[in-house]
A and B are shown apart, each in its own frame.
Chain A
Amino acid sequence: MDFETPLTARIKANGEVTTLAEYRDAAGYQGLEIALSMESTAVIDLVKESNLRGRGGAGFSAGLKWSFVPRGEGTARPKYLICNADEMEPGTFKDRWLMECDPHQLIEGMVIAAYAIEADIAYLFLRADYEVAAERLQQAIDDAYQEGLLGDNICGGSYSLQLYLHTSAGRYICGEETALISSLEGKRAVPRAKPPFPQVSGLFGKPTVVNNVETLCNLPHILRNGADWFKSLGRGEDAGTKLFGVSGRVKNPGCWEMPMGTTIREILEGYAGGMQDGLKLKGFLPGGGSTDFLTEEHLDLPMDYGAIGKAGSRMGTGTMIVLDDQTCPVGMVLNLIQFFAQESCGWCTPCRNGLPFLRQLLEDLEYGKGRPEDLETMADYCRYLGPGNTFCALAPGAAEPLQSALKYFRRDFEEHVNQGGCTYRQQAKANG
Chain B
Amino acid sequence: MTELIASTANLPAAGEIEPLTPEERAEIEHEISHYPNRQAATIEALKIVQKYQRWVSDGKVKAIAEVLDISPDAVDAVATFYNRIYRQPVGQKVLAICDSVSCWLLGCTELMDHASRSLDIEPGETSSDGRFTLLPTPCLGACDRAPVMKFEDKLITNLTAETLDWILKS
Contact = CB atoms under 8 A, between A and B. Distances in A.
B138 A245 contact: no
Nearest to B82: A169
B27 to A, nearest CB: 13
Contacts of B137: 129
Interface residues of B, number: 40
Interface stretch (B1-9, B98-106, B111-119): B98-106
A91 interface: yes
Interface in A275-322: 289, 319, 321-322
A50 interface: no
Contact of A327 (B39, B47, B105): B105
A278 to B, nearest CB: 15
Interface hub of A90, A254, A345 (most chain B Cβ within 10 A): A90
A254 B140 CA distance: 15
A336 interface: yes
Contacts of A168: 43, 82, 84
A332 interface: yes
A169 B47 contact: yes
A162 to B, nearest CB: 8
B144 interface: yes
B95 to A, nearest CB: 14
B124 interface: no
A16 interface: no
Contacts of B161: none
B105 A248 contact: yes
B40 interface: yes
Interface residues of A, number: 55
Contacts of B104: 331-332, 335
Interface string B147-163: 00010010100000000
Nearest to A129: B140
B75 to A, nearest CB: 9
A188 B105 contact: no
Interface of B: 34-37, 39-44, 46-47, 68, 77-78, 81-85, 99-102, 104-106, 137-146, 150, 153, 155
27 contacts: A88-B139, A90-B102, A90-B139, A96-B142, A129-B150, A129-B155, A166-B43, A167-B47, A171-B82, A171-B83, A172-B138, A186-B41, A186-B68, A187-B77, A188-B81, A204-B36, A204-B37, A245-B143, A247-B102, A247-B143, A248-B102, A248-B105, A248-B106, A327-B105, A335-B99, A335-B101, A343-B138
Given A339-B101, A342-B138, 15 more contacts: A87-B141, A90-B138, A91-B143, A92-B141, A96-B141, A129-B140, A168-B84, A169-B84, A170-B138, A204-B40, A247-B105, A247-B143, A254-B144, A332-B104, A339-B139
Interface of A: 78, 87-93, 95-96, 127-132, 164, 166-172, 183-189, 204, 245-249, 253-255, 289, 319, 321-324, 327, 331-332, 335-336, 339, 342-343, 345
